[in-house]
Structure 1
Amino acid sequence: MVFSEPRVGFGTWQNTDPEACAESVRTALEMGYRHIDTAQLYENEAYVGDGIERADVDREEITLGTKLWPGDLASDRVHDAVDESLERLGVDYLDILYVHWPAKDYDAVDTLGAFSELRDEGLIRHLGVSNFTPELLDEAQAACDAPIDVNQVELHPLLPQPDLLEYCRGHDIEVVAYSPLARGRVFEIPEITDIARENGLSEAQVAIAWLLSKDGVNPIPKASSEAHIRGNLEATDVELTAEELDRIDDINRELRIADRDWVDW
Structure 2
Amino acid sequence: MNLYFQQTYQRSFGTFPLTGDTLASAVAEAAKVGYRAFDTAQMYNNETEVGAAIAALGLPRDEICITTKVHPDNFTDALFLASVEGSLKKLGLDRVDALLLHWPAYDGDNTVSLRLLQKAKRQGLADHIGISNYTSTMMREAASLLDEPIITNQVEFHPLLDQSILLKAATETGIPLASYCSVARGEVFKYPLFAEIGASYGKSAAQVVLRWILQKGVPINTMSTKPDNIRANFDVMDFTLSSIDMDRIDAMRATGYRCVDKAKVPTAPEWD
- Mapped to 1, the partners of 2:8 and 2:128 lie a distance apart of 17
**2:241 is matched by which residue type in structure 1?**
L
- Mapped to 1, the partners of 2:229 and 2:134 lie a distance apart of 29
1:182-235 deviations in Å (ceiling 9; x for gaps): 0001111122121123333211111101111122x1111111121111110011
1:14 matched to 2:14: no
- Mapped to 2, the partners of 1:107 and 1:75 lie a distance apart of 14
Deviation, 1:6, is 6.6
Q: Do the aligned partners of 2:10 and 2:219 also contact (CA within 8 Å) in 1?
A: yes
- Mapped to 2, the partners of 1:6 and 1:112 lie a distance apart of 22
Q: Are residues 148 and 80 of structure 1, via their aligned partners in 2, closer, same or farther at CA, if it must alter by over 3 Å?
A: same
Aligned to 1:47: 49
- Mapped to 2, the partners of 1:6 and 1:99 lie a distance apart of 17
Question: May I ask how many residue pairs the two structures share in their alignment?
Answer: 263
- Mapped to 2, the partners of 1:6 and 1:131 lie a distance apart of 18
- Mapped to 1, the partners of 2:148 and 2:245 lie a distance apart of 39
Match of 1:264 among 259, 263, 270: 270
TM-score (norm 2): 0.91
**1:263 is matched by which residue type in structure 2?**
P
Q: Do the aligned partners of 2:39 and 2:66 also contact (CA within 8 Å) in 1?
A: yes
For structure 1, the 5+ residue unaligned runs are none
1:159 matched to 2:161: yes
- Superposed, 1:106-117 pairs within 5 Å as 107-117=109-119
Aligned-residue sequence identity (percent) comes to 36
**1:12 is matched by which residue type in structure 2?**
T
Deviation, 1:248, is 0.2
Q: Do the aligned partners of 1:37 and 1:65 also contact (CA within 8 Å) in 2?
A: yes
Q: Do the aligned partners of 1:38 and 1:45 also contact (CA within 8 Å) in 2?
A: yes
- Mapped to 2, the partners of 1:108 and 1:146 lie a distance apart of 16
Where 1:237 maps in the other structure, the secondary structure is: coil
Where 2:255 maps in the other structure, the secondary structure is: coil
Deviation, 1:106, is 6.8
- Mapped to 2, the partners of 1:62 and 1:258 lie a distance apart of 29
For structure 2, the 5+ residue unaligned runs are none
Q: Do the aligned partners of 1:70 and 1:106 also contact (CA within 8 Å) in 2?
A: no
